[in-house]
Amino acid sequence: MPLDQTTGVTPRDVEIKSETGVLQGRLYLPAEPAKAALVLNSATGVPQGFYKHFATWLATERGIACLTYDYSGFGRSCMGHERDAKVTMADWALKDQPAARQAMREMVPDVPLWVIGHSVGAMLMPLQDETQQIDRMIGVASGLVHHTDHPWPYQALARLFWFGHTPFLVRVLGYLPGRMVGFGADLPAGVYWQWRRWCTTPKSYVPEIGAGLPRSTWDSSRTRTTLFAFSDDKTIPPVCTERLAEVYGDGTDTKVLRPADFGLKAVDHLGAFSKHNKALWPVLIDTAD
């Protein structure tokens, strides 16, 4: 890609080899040698381009290289139609996310490795292999949610998404027609069904640990971990972040941020990475120093 004349950053398209296939990513490098290499794991249904302003800010203002990418069967990594993608949410977390870290270590070696996980991007990190190589983990708007955790009237929308017409459409069409149902992005059916099961089961995926999902080894990694929640997040309320912190284990720091404290009207679930809310960005990064 051409040099961004306003920032001096040259994003570079890259390919990431995962067990699920080849993922499409974008590497943002600072002008000077990077102080750290950060992998940004996206939220469900959020394309990597959504994070471009944040990634550019990391490179220009903090000297941190940033890798964004799309999960298998989604966005630029979707080869064909979503109905043909035989992947699950666990595949995204346990195969694609580690593959992205490995790629980043090879592209930007010999510097501390950081991970930011947005929503699902941090949700299953404790169950992954080789987490000992992560120097810093930052979760943003991530947690273990049950559909009864959502405030009303948002909970009514969530119930429709899980129990109304949406599962019927997924069965008929063979994929989640996100645009049709107002979710915003089409997703593979395997992702939807696993996501649905976890969001409608008390304690989410925790009952599956050791029986279909790996056991957590996060405590042995000694990775400094901070999980940020937002007081106005209707999708992942702060209580859900506290629940996820229990999976990460002792030493995990949780922080609840209030939009008004930063002069912002709202952040909710996706707004932390919006350029309009960039007042939050130093808190997410500098708190981790």
Burial bucket for residue 120 (CB in 10 Å: 0-12, 13-18, 19+): buried
In this structure, is residue 127 part of a structural domain?
yes
In this structure, is residue 104 part of a structural domain?
yes
CA–CA distance, 55 with 64 (Å, rounded to integer): 9
Share of the chain above pLDDT 70, in %: 96
Lookup: tokens for 45? 């249904």
Lookup: tokens for 103? 């790629």
CA–CA distance, 78 with 115 (Å, rounded to integer): 23
pLDDT of the residue at 218: 92
User: Residue 250's domain is classified under what CATH number?
Assistant: 3.40.50.1820
Number of structural domains found in the chain = 1
In this structure, is residue 137 part of a structural domain?
yes
Average pLDDT, the chain: 95
In this structure, is residue 142 part of a structural domain?
yes
Give pLDDT tens digits for 124-136.
999 999 999 999 9
In this structure, is residue 86 part of a structural domain?
yes
- Grouping H, G, I as helix, E, B as strand and the rest as coil, residue 288 is coil
Average pLDDT over residues 269-279: 97
Owning domain of residue 54: 12-150+216-286
DSSP secondary structure string for all residues of 52-74: HHHHHHHHHHS-EEEEEE--TTS
Give pLDDT tens digits for 146-180.
999 999 999 999 999 999 999 999 999 999 999 99
DSSP secondary structure string for all residues of 205-250: TGGGBTTTBPPP-HHHHT-EEEEEEETT-SSS-HHHHHHHHHHH-T
In this structure, is residue 41 part of a structural domain?
yes
- Grouping H, G, I as helix, E, B as strand and the rest as coil, residue 69 is strand
Lookup: tokens for 239? 């209580």
In this structure, is residue 201 part of a structural domain?
no
Lookup: tokens for 148? 């009864």
pLDDT of the residue at 5: 45
pLDDT of the residue at 153: 97
In this structure, is residue 57 part of a structural domain?
yes
Q: How confident is the model at residue 2 (pLDDT cuts 50, 70, 90)?
A: low
pLDDT of the residue at 228: 98
